[in-house]
Amino acid sequence: MTVNYTMLTDFYELTMANGYFEHGIGDREACFDMFFRSVPDGGGFAIMAGVEQMITYLQNLRFSDEDIAYLRGKGCFSEAFLDYLAHFRFACDVWAIPEGTPIFPSEPIVTVRGPILQAQFVETMILLTINHQSLIATKACRICRAAGKSVVMEFGSRRAQGYDGAVLGARASYIGGCAATANAMADRDYGIPAAGTMAHSWVMTFDSEYEAFKAYAETYPGACTLLVDTYSVLKSGMPNAIRCFKEVLAPMGYRPQGVRIDSGDIAYLSKKMREMLDRAGFPDCKIVASNALDEFIIKDLMTQGAPIDSFGVGERLITSRSEPVFGGVYKLSGIERDGVMQPKLKISENVGKITNPAFKTVWRLYDRASGRAIADVVTLFDEVIDDTKPYLIFDPEHTWKRKLVTDFTARRLPVQLFRKGEPVYRSPDIHAIRDYCAAQIETLWDEVLRFENPHIYYVDLSKKLWDIKQELLASHGE
């Protein structure tokens, strides 16, 4: 069942909507952009996620009788406005960069154009939806890259910030590169493979650790992974696991799938576990590690040569604990006047908060020989970058920094989701999005992928857009 999130909005979206309506400008066409200013954790890029849920939200924008009654009770909305809301139908055009795409600060990742009353109203949910999933997908991508060839599973439901945080966080984690989730609902609803074996309570329920292992192996002989750190990993857990593999699984014709540790010095213990498993004749038995992991701990474990085949990552992934805010914003960039879209920008003492005006789009330029991304260019919507000719890019703030790009291909990144309120885009399935994300990360240079002090990827403005921005800045400075 689809939940109606129409009223999940900041109250001032409603007061502004009423004001636009009362002043007869609610149908004036406007353009808004969502963008973000910095990459979480000081990374070189972020991952776009949440577009499918944003589409669902926009498709189901309806004010119920209960919503109207609530608003009437506030005493600050006109009856004419409430009648408008009772018959509300979304009528905007919407574009977004597809899920799984690496994205960068200051470029529009969602653009909404349509009646200002509507385009303004959807701000809260667009930000909520894209901010949350992009944050978790970005964190998952960092963790999976730190793990290298080892598998990463999302184990964070019980520490997630709310029900949707758990399910949609699992979805975003999968886009970012995780191979599985512990969340059964995410598997049911999105087809993300669910994984999980036992808790310490299972082991403690039985009279002995061996009996607990034996019972589990008899129940799941083809998928037997045993948790070996309930008592002592090396003195008890591993010897009992190996005994179980030999006495229970082997006679049944099965090989063990894995052993898991959730505490202790994981680097040291995993090395000893590998030695014991190999010596016992189980070199194919995988070692799984969990317990408050993140990309930095995993990277250290890999550097120390820990023979870990897969990681279960929980709270530090599902909450992006190290930096739990994505920081996307939604700003007006244009307003119609006399049939023409007039560019608008917000000025700030903080240069980084000065917005880019006008109805825009984003292009990504790729080196033709290597296929690697060179730069993104924000242009006016109707501009086309001709990749058959050299193209000059320049830093929008330090304009003397210039580069003539040759032998490249140009790709317009945003896709249209809605035309006059009607959906015109079908989201790929989650597995296709994940594969696309992995392929797009491969187009980034190693310098952008660095965890520490990554290269700042170029996001430039076209000359036409830069000129418009300078003219507006100059006019406000008079």
pLDDT for position 38: 96
Q: Are residues 45 and 107 in the same domain?
A: yes
Question: pLDDT tens across 187-237, in order?
Answer: 999 999 999 999 999 999 999 999 999 999 999 999 999 999 999 999 999
Residue 121 maps to which CATH number?
3.20.140.10
Name, in order, each residue with C-beta under 8 angstroms of 104's C-beta and a sequence gap of 6 or more: 39, 45, 46, 376, 457, 459
Q: Using pLDDT thresholds of 50, 70 and 90, give the confidence band for residue 1.
A: low
- The pLDDT tens digits of the residues spanning 240-251 come to 999 999 999 999
Angle at CA 327, nearest 5°, toward 323 and 333? Answer: 165
Contact 328, 35 (CB under 8 A): yes
Q: Which of 234, 265, 287 is the last residue of a domain?
A: 287
Amino acid at 7: M
C-alpha to C-alpha distance for 97 and 110, rounded to whole angstroms: 7
**Is residue 459 located within the same domain as residue 356?**
yes
* Alpha-carbon distances of 232 from 105, 228, 239, 262, 404, rounded to whole Å: 48, 7, 10, 12, 63
Residue 141 located in a structural domain: no
CATH classification at residue 213: 3.20.20.70
pLDDT of residue 349: 82
Are both 328 and 472 inside the same structural domain? yes
- Dist CA 42 CA 451 (whole Å): 8
Q: Is 159 a member of any domain?
A: no
Question: Does residue 265 come out as left (phi exceeding 0), alpha (psi in the -120 to 50 range) or beta?
Answer: beta
User: Hey, which residues does 373 pair with through a beta bridge?
Assistant: 366
Q: Does residue 32 have a pLDDT over 80?
A: yes
Q: What is the pLDDT of residues 253-311, one digit of tens each?
A: 999 999 999 999 999 999 999 999 999 999 999 999 998 999 999 999 999 999 999 99
The answer to the question of residue 105 being in a domain is yes
Residue 414 confidence (pLDDT) above 80? yes
Residue 305 covered by a domain? no
Are 211 and 82 in a shared domain?
no
Residues 278 and 333 grouped into a single domain: no
One domain for residues 264 and 328: no
- 274 and 330 fall within a common domain: no
Q: What's the CA gap between 421 and 313, in Å, rounded?
A: 39
pLDDT tens by residue, 90-118? 999 999 999 999 999 999 999 999 999 99
Per-residue pLDDT, 352: 81
pTM equals: 0.97
* Number of residues assigned to the chain: 478
Same domain, 238 and 346: no
Q: How many domains does the chain divide into? A: 2
Give the C-alpha separation, 217 to 391, whole Å: 63
Q: Over the chain, what is the mean pLDDT?
A: 96
Q: Are 446 and 365 a contacting pair, CB within 8 Å?
A: no
pLDDT in tens, 308-352: 999 999 999 999 999 999 999 999 999 999 999 999 999 988 888
Residue 461 bridge partners (DSSP): 378
Assigned domain for 344 exists: yes
pLDDT band at 367 (very low <50, low <70, confident <90, very high): very high
- Domain endpoint, select from 266, 287, 308: 287
For 205, the domain range is 197-287
218 and 102 co-located in one domain = no
How much is the average pLDDT of 423-452?
A: 97
36-79 pLDDT per residue, tens: 999 999 999 999 999 999 999 999 999 999 999 999 999 999 99
Q: Evaluate whether residue 465 is within a structural domain.
A: yes
Q: Do residue 337 and residue 416 come from a single domain?
A: yes
Select from 287, 313, 334 the last residue of a domain: 287
